[in-house]
Chains A and B, each alone.
Chain A
Amino acid sequence: MPLRELTWMSEAIAASGALPSDWMFVVAVIGMVAVTYSLRAGGYWLMGRLSITPRVRRGLEALPGAIIVSTILPIVLKGGIAVGLCLVVAIAAQVKLKKEYAAVFCAALVAAGLRAVGI
């Protein structure tokens, strides 16, 4: 790239106080990907450096359920009675039928029904 253009570009960057918008977007995505991947891999990596004692193992075993409960709870709090009811239906269907797709189908059906009557 000729020097003249480089100078023009750097002046443009300096004048706008930022990189051109689309490049800024690429930088933003790179940042988001980097932070997300380091979280995806970081917990796994860290557990390889700690020794997995029986206590740590029990904690790890308790983790999936605890994560699910903590994930669902805000959804129910935000979604209100209709969403709460649908999840109860999903759990009941799962206990009874032991098929995830059936539980999901029942819950979506109940949700559609509740919305149709305006709840």
Chain B
Amino acid sequence: MLDKNVTLSLKGCIQGALLCIPVFPGIIALSAVFGTVAAQKGLTFLETLMINSLVFAGASQFVAMEVYNEPLTWGLLIAMVGVTGAVNMRMLLIGASLRPWLGQVPGYQTYPALFFLTDLNWLLAISQYEKGTRDWGVFLGSGLTIWAVWSLSVIPGYFAGSLITDPKAFGLDVILPAFFAALLVPLWKGKRQTVSWLVAGGVAWVTWIAVGGYWSIFTGAVAGAIAGAYLDE
């Protein structure tokens, strides 16, 4: 089952871009902090721009920087790629959930657009989808906007050490999780969500205690989706 009437318009792209504005402070702070971390780790300016704009996946960049050391050996290199994969594993699921919507769009449009897939623009787009939007410009516009802001914000962070010495004091560290929590609200419709979310939360919790790190996102999400799939109407 694929949706019909899937469109792409400039209006949708602009709408997507505007929807990102509330999270700009969170994106800017995170990317600036990454710039600072990269500078402290001894990356050159170009190396920092390259990793930040091309990998374009915040959490995994930070974890890869934890692994990184001079001189970079093959062992470290493989470890950097490995942790990046582990942290970004959830993207498989996020991408999968876009299939019913983008399935009608030709591949030469969707596959380049998927480069700009992040939790944030996925979440923005999917909450618009829930409200009946079928214009996938919302996804593309928000993705491009987040990418641009993310790519630029690393520059002052790299040169100024840190613009904001303590992001926590301004509550900047809670912006992204708070945004996630807020977007959870309209997704709740009844018992199916309650059960599925409880299963997701329970499995994520157990995983977090057992292995820590980012695996809990993956196991919790899969468990919640399976619960949702097998819960009858």
Binding site for B on A (CB under 8 A): 16-18, 21-22, 24-29, 31-37, 39-48, 52, 54-77, 79, 83, 86-87, 89-91, 93-95, 100-101, 103-105, 107-113, 115-116
- Asked if A27 contacts B77 (CB within 8 A), the reply is yes
In the complex, whether B179 has a CB less than 8 A from a CB of chain A is yes
Do most interface residues of chain A lie in helix, strand or loop, or is the interface mixed? Answer: helix
Interface CB pairs A-B, < 8 A, 21: A21-B70, A21-B72, A24-B77, A28-B77, A32-B64, A32-B84, A36-B57, A36-B60, A47-B99, A62-B224, A62-B231, A64-B187, A67-B90, A68-B123, A70-B216, A79-B173, A83-B174, A83-B177, A89-B178, A95-B185, A108-B175
- Asked if B224 contacts A63 (CB within 8 A), the reply is yes
Do most interface residues of chain B lie in helix, strand or loop, or is the interface mixed? Answer: helix
Distance between Cα atoms of A71 and B74 in the complex (Å): 31
With a CB–CB cut-off of 8 A, which chain A residues contact B160? none
Distance between Cα atoms of A109 and B25 in the complex (Å): 13
B86-107 contact mask (Cβ, 8 Å, vs A): 1 or 0 = 0011111111111110110000
CB distance from B190 to the nearest CB of A (A): 12
B63-94 contact mask (Cβ, 8 Å, vs A): 1 or 0 = 01000101111101110110011001111111
Distance between Cα atoms of A35 and B55 in the complex (Å): 9
In the complex, whether B210 has a CB less than 8 A from a CB of chain A is no
Q: With A43-B95, A103-B182, A107-B171 given, can you name 9 additional A-B contacts, CB distance below 8 Å?
A: A24-B74, A28-B77, A32-B81, A65-B184, A65-B188, A73-B216, A77-B208, A93-B182, A100-B183
With a CB–CB cut-off of 8 A, which chain B residues contact A89? 178
- Asked if B23 contacts A70 (CB within 8 A), the reply is no
Cross-chain contact of A115 among B115, B168, B231 (Cβ < 8 A): B168
